[in-house]
Amino acid sequence: MGSTGPSNLPALMRALEYSEARKFSIVKKPLPKIREQDVLIKVKASGVCGTDLHIHDGEFGAQFPLVPGHETVGEVAAFGQGVQGFEVGDRVVADNSELCGHCFYCRRGKELFCDNFIAHGVMVDGGFAEYATYPACRVFKFKNLSDVDATLLEPASCAAHGLDKIAPQMGSSVLLFGAGPTGLILAQLLRQNGGCHMVIAAPAGVKMDLAKSLDAADEYIELPREAQASAARMKELQADHPYGFDIVVEATGNAKILENAINFVTKGGKLVVYGVYGDEDLVSLSPNKIFKDEINVIGSFSQVYKFPAAIAYLDEKRVKVDGIVNKVFKLEEWQACLDALNNKSVIKAAIVFD
Ligand SMILES: [Zn+2]
Ligand SMILES: [Zn+2]
């Protein structure tokens, strides 16, 4: 087995490695092995998201020792002998999933549920390192996005999958709870694919300001943080839209909001469960309402095969992402990055390399 690429690749690279949950350090380690079908990426930027906080705590199936990082962007540095269609220097983004192709779900075309799913940055090493390898079939070229903005292609792929699941009819009215990164991308995709009147409901603050600057909605409802005032504002919203919305997306991960969200769904409409919820969270919904109003409850998590769609929308600026990543850190600043994520002083962060 050989590989193609510059012979001046270094022997060692810097990486952020966890030896176990909560124990990390910057290490020097050999470059990852390039399998016959692999592309070696010189990493330029790696997105950071809530998943990485769970990985820090050893959750989400994290397998240590581990180099995290599942939103990897960079340049092709080398590739295995079986790889075609890439050149050294190509700007690329990696889909972090490897699918087995032969399990119960893969054989039925439901690869999202692959029993042997391998996630780079969760179970095997990912992009918080100077170099990372991915199978060539999971590596995609892009042209226009900055390296930092390109880290949003992974979350945008998940939003694109959400759009497929929702399958909006043209002229649909939409209510979206939450103004986080994937919600704002999904809002824009919905508006360009059947969503007609888009309402975003979220607390006032930097995320709502960002939603406005991205022109993600037709109407913005600022929900007070205090519970009673928020309930009153929700009542007003209901009164203003007595027939409800064709599509209601819960994108905050708050089970209480999900419980209330169903009251905004029009008869025959869709309730989309789109946040990340705790394992212990429960909601109570009226089965009679779901039955009589024929409400479709839709789950959307992760993605497969949606990178080309995400690149098509983001790289042509049909979906705008400027300002979503609002803070970048160097590998050595990982603790500061974790702190910023924990105290929510960033909307979305990325690790950058020279
Ligand atoms: Zn993520
Ligand atoms: Zn499988």
Report pLDDT digits (tens) over 126-138.
Answer: 999 999 999 999 9
Distance 65 CA to ligand 2 centre (A): 24
- Res 56 pLDDT > 80: yes
Q: Are residues 289 and 176 both part of a single domain?
A: yes
Q: Are residues 57 and 105 both part of a single domain?
A: yes
Distance 255 CA to ligand 2 centre (A): 31
Q: Are residues 78 and 97 both part of a single domain?
A: yes
pTM: 0.95
- Res 1 pLDDT > 60: no
pLDDT at 147: 98
Extended beta strands in 128-278, E state: 131-135, 139-141, 172-177, 195-202, 219-222, 245-250, 265-273
Q: What is the rounded CA–CA span in Å between residue 277 and residue 251?
A: 10
CA-based nearest residue to 35, from 123, 134, 140, 122: 134
Q: Are residues 172 and 292 both part of a single domain?
A: yes
- Letter string b/e over residues 248-272, b meaning 16 or more CB atoms within 10 A of that residue's CB: bbbbbbbbebbebbbebbbeebbbb
Closest ligand to residue 112's CA:
2
Residue 28, domain extent = 3-152+324-352
Main-chain dihedrals φ then ψ at residue 129, nearest 5 degrees: -155, 165
Q: Quick one: average pLDDT of 264-291?
A: 95
In the chain, the number of structural domains is 2
57-73 pLDDT tens trace = 999 899 999 999 999 99
Distance 302 CA to ligand 1 centre (A): 9
Question: What is the band of 349 on the pLDDT scale with cuts at 50, 70, 90?
Answer: very high
Q: What is the rounded CA–CA span in Å between residue 310 and residue 272?
A: 20
Distance 257 CA to ligand 1 centre (A): 22
Q: Are residues 134 and 9 both part of a single domain?
A: yes
DSSP state of 120: B
Distance 46 CA to ligand 1 centre (A): 10
Distance 110 CA to ligand 2 centre (A): 8
Q: What is the CATH classification number for the domain harbouring 71?
A: 3.90.180.10
